[in-house]
Structure 1
Amino acid sequence: MLPKEKLARINALAKKAKEGSLTEAEAKEQSSLRKEYLQTFRSNMLTTLKGVTIVDPKGNDVTPNKLKVVKQDKNLH
């Protein structure tokens, strides 16, 4: 998760952008912070999904094969 300071800065820049007073340097900073946020979010989501097993009401493992492969790769590292 990103530090609270970075999240606050993302929100401040978004508010400023809505007001239409974002400088070129601030726009670059906003883009960089957004990329960092999305990278962190995706990494956290993947970690969460690697710990998930989907089971139907009968108790059968119905986890999608693509997720099973990702989970196996995790176990190899």
Structure 2
Amino acid sequence: MIGGLLTGIATSPWMRAALRYGAIALAVVLFLLALRRSGERAGRLAERLEIMEKANDVQRQMLDAAARRPRDRDELAGRLRDGRF
């Protein structure tokens, strides 16, 4: 029953053209949805990269500050006397 109905619809030139354009429109819509999803994903990855870069920058600043700290009380006292602290 359904097969006969589809065969009857597909034989009409108008319906064949409508099915063809419908299939093309569906393909375009699916492509645009996939493109949108990949764009959102790329945006999230870029945001994650930016956050990681900020965290790495802060960590590097902390390591630099730790490397410049006085090693013991005598060095701290010397820096305070010289005014370099």
Fold shared by both chains (TM-score > 0.5): no
For the pair shown, the structure with the greater C-alpha radius of gyration is: 2
TM-score (norm. length: structure 2): 0.39
TM-score (norm. length: structure 1): 0.42
